[in-house]
């Protein structure tokens, strides 16, 4: 499986995933021209774009994606929030599997301050399983047989509390972060609760600029899981 991080964080999110046959994009939160340039204009074989929710850093290029002839998959809530129209818009519901090329894709509910937020489980014909979950403060599901994990690790509660004390972050923003993003502690709990026996690598996504420490996050998740851990953007 090839995982290419085009961008991750509040300024934009976009991830290229391929099993060697059926490339897809998860999120399109960058200008389309930037996505094209980063992929060296090899976008004609992209089978779909999966959008988790309507916040701009995850869907900025959605109109251009469809103009380029690529189908876009999102929840009915996301479609409504963005007023998406046209035959390229494909509504999908949580826990209802669909196919894109060689991928069997299972959307699942994410807990975020958006309409119908989703995560995605991508299973290839070769047996690889990729979990993608971001912009959620909680994951209610358990997964077996995962080989690749891409999960938000937005903040550390210790760092966030210190930033509130120093007034770098106000109380209202703290509450919004806690109710909409995955913390280091929650990531650890999620990993402990899941079958990691087949996991080959873990990618930590959407780290906060102010409320995270990528060195600490990488070290602690590697120590917990014994798996290779990459901060979004690092090369495996």
Give pLDDT tens digits for 145-192.
999 999 999 999 999 999 999 999 998 899 889 988 999 999 999 999
Q: Is the pLDDT of residue 236 over 70?
A: no
pLDDT (tens digit, 9 = 90+) per residue, 9-28? 989 999 999 999 999 999 99
What mean pLDDT do residues 49-74 have? 97
| Pairing state between β 148-152 and 129-133 | parallel
CA–CA separation, 188 and 204 (whole Å): 12
Contacts of 142 (CB under 8 A, 6+ apart): 193, 194, 195
Distances (CA, A) of 117 to 20, 95, 152, 160, 173: 28, 13, 14, 24, 20
- Residue ranges and CATH numbers for the domains of the chain are 2-231 (3.60.15.10)
Which pLDDT band, with edges at 50, 70 and 90, does 235 fall under?
Answer: low
Spacing of C-alpha 56 from chain mean position: 14
pLDDT (tens digit, 9 = 90+) per residue, 90-130? 999 999 999 999 999 999 999 888 888 999 999 999 999 99
Q: Where are the alpha helices (DSSP H) in 153-210?
A: 157-165, 171-178, 184-192
What mean pLDDT do residues 33-53 have? 96
What is the pTM for the complete model shown?
A: 0.95
% of the chain beyond a pLDDT of 90: 90
Confidence (pLDDT) at 191:
97
SS3 123: strand
CA–CA separation, 15 and 149 (whole Å): 13
Token readout for 162 is 């210190």
Token readout for 192 is 């402990």
Q: Is the pLDDT of residue 134 over 80?
A: yes
């Amino acid at each position: 499986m090839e995982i290419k991080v085009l961008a991750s964080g509040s300024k934009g999110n976009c991830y290229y995933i391929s099993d060697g046959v059926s490339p897809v994009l998860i999120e399109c939160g960058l200008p389309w021209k930037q996505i094209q340039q980063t992929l060296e204009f090899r976008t004609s074989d992209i089978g779909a774009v999966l959008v988790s929710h309507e916040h701009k850093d995850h869907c900025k290029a959605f109109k251009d994606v469809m103009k380029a002839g690529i189908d876009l998959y999102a929840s009915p809530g996301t479609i409504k929030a963005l007023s998406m129209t046209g035959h390229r818009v494909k509504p999908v519901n949580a826990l209802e599997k669909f196919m894109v090329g060689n991928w069997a894709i299972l959307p699942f509910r994410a807990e975020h301050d958006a309409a119908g937020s989703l995560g995605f489980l991508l299973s290839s014909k070769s047996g690889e399983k990729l979990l993608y979950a971001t912009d959620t403060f909680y994951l209610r599901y358990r997964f077996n047989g995962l080989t690749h994990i891409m999960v938000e690790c937005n903040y550390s509660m210790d760092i966030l509390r210190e930033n509130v004390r120093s007034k770098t972050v106000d109380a209202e923003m703290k509450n919004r972060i806690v109710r909409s993003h995955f913390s280091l502690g929650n990531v650890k709990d999620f990993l402990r609760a899941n079958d990691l026996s087949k996991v080959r690598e873990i990618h930590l996504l959407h780290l906060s600029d102010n409320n995270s420490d990528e060195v600490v996050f990488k070290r602690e998740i590697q120590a917990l899981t014994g798996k290779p851990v990459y901060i979004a953007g690092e090369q495996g």
